[in-house]
Structure 1
């Protein structure tokens, strides 16, 4: 069996299709069933629903950014194996995107209106990192996943105990993000210095505050 080698234009068109699937509500299709699919909806008051929806909107936006980051890196990665790893990670993150969107619908809410802006910014960062070197690109994935893990830990602490559906989703997402980060480091990703990580934290705070409300 021969493997097809995709041209730069092929990859660009594929990414355009993936971008639309990421940004259009309802277009993302998960490969795995949601961890919350078998769990019952429990009664929540309006304030709890509003807060949980804000948290899930942040996580949904984070997955939009992850899609953009991986796509940008895959476009400019030098080594085919690194490109394939980025594309595989993006496919797995689609599950998270679909799960969060489904939970938002159950909470009578919606994704962030700022997602197209965040997607564009993240795509540019990913493409730049990939163009610098595969080692930097993989290091950026590892640092990003570590940051996402911290966000998920915080959100799990904030969820009402009775909201077992959101908790199941975030716990599975956390496991996946840890695995992606570890794989990036094992593949040769650079360990970023603390000042770079601090700058990433500041950027993420802007995103989370905006996505929570909008």
Structure 2
């Protein structure tokens, strides 16, 4: 049986085929959580329509962010060279799946919908993740750490603007924040490089664009 050679720093064809299942599950199948949902024991409260739309929009942004995170981690893990780094990326990706489950259910409870842009966001993020991994592990981890810091900043801003009475959404966002900061710390411990300021700024601009679009659509 003929086997195609693997390019340096790139995954084999059979690995790519296996990873396609991850793409389908992320975009099409309901996400599940091994941990209890952070809002599981919190009763919902009444909102006016404007507050409900705003909370749903923020949770839609968070859900789309987790779609992007899944794709980034998948791409980075595919091209990471060090097994320890690859395992750290896969562990972080599993926690992001739980975040998907939490935000997905909360969006449904708020009577709204997931972003129609998710497939496009996934494709773009996967390409970025693969590229980061090909460049090298320390830059791969550096990109991971900076991504998580920027996600954490977004989550903190959401806590400032969520309706005060929306304790369920707040509990989800607070746990997501703790997880994201933990991922950033792990990346630094594994040797993440500090990204250049222009690249950080570009990541911030891209993130704001994604946030604005997914909030509305």
For the superposition of Structure 1 and Structure 2, which TM-score range results when normalised by the shorter chain?
over 0.9
Gapped regions of structure 1 (runs ≥ 5):
1-6
Q: CA deviation at 1:181?
A: 0.3
The answer for unaligned runs of 5 or more in structure 2 is: 1-10
Shift, 1:10, TM fit = 4.9
Shift in Å, 1:193:
2.1
Query: Equivalent residues in 2 for 1:20-31 (5 A)?
Result: 20-24=24-28, 26-31=29-34
Partner in structure 2 of residue 200 of structure 1: 203
1:137, distance to aligned residue in structure 2 (A): 0.4
Q: Provide the rounded CA distance (Å) in 2 between the counterparts of 1:113 and 1:98.
A: 17
TM-score between the two structures when normalised by the length of structure 2 = 0.92
1:127-173 per-residue CA deviation (whole Å, 9 max, x = no partner) reads 00000100010000000000000000000000111100000000000
**Cα distance per residue 1:4-43 (max 9 Å; x no partner):** xxx834532332122112111x521111111001110100
Q: How does 1:76-91 map to 2 (within 5 A)?
A: 76-91=79-94
CA distance in 2 between partners of 1:196 and 1:101 (Å)? 31
Shift of residue 79, structure 1, vs aligned partner? 1.4
Matched, 1:212 2:215: yes
Q: Give me the whole-angstrom Cα distance separating, in 2, the residues matched to 1:22 and 1:114.
A: 13
Q: How many Å separate the matches in 2 of 1:30 and 1:10? A: 28
User: Which has the higher mean CA deviation after the structures are superposed, 162-171 or 88-97?
Assistant: 88-97
Runs of 4+, deviation exceeding 6 Å: none
Question: In structure 2, what is the Cα distance between the partners aligned to 1:189 and 1:179?
Answer: 14
Which of 177, 183, 188 is the aligned partner of 1:185?
Answer: 188
| Alignment match of 1:66 (pick from 45, 66, 69) | 69
| 3-state SS in 1 of match to 2:42 | coil
Question: How far apart are the structure 1 equivalents of 2:158 and 2:127?
Answer: 27
Residue 160 (structure 1) aligns with: 163
2:178 is equivalent to residue 175 of structure 1: yes
Q: TM-score, normalised by structure 1?
A: 0.94
Map of 1:96 onto structure 2? 99
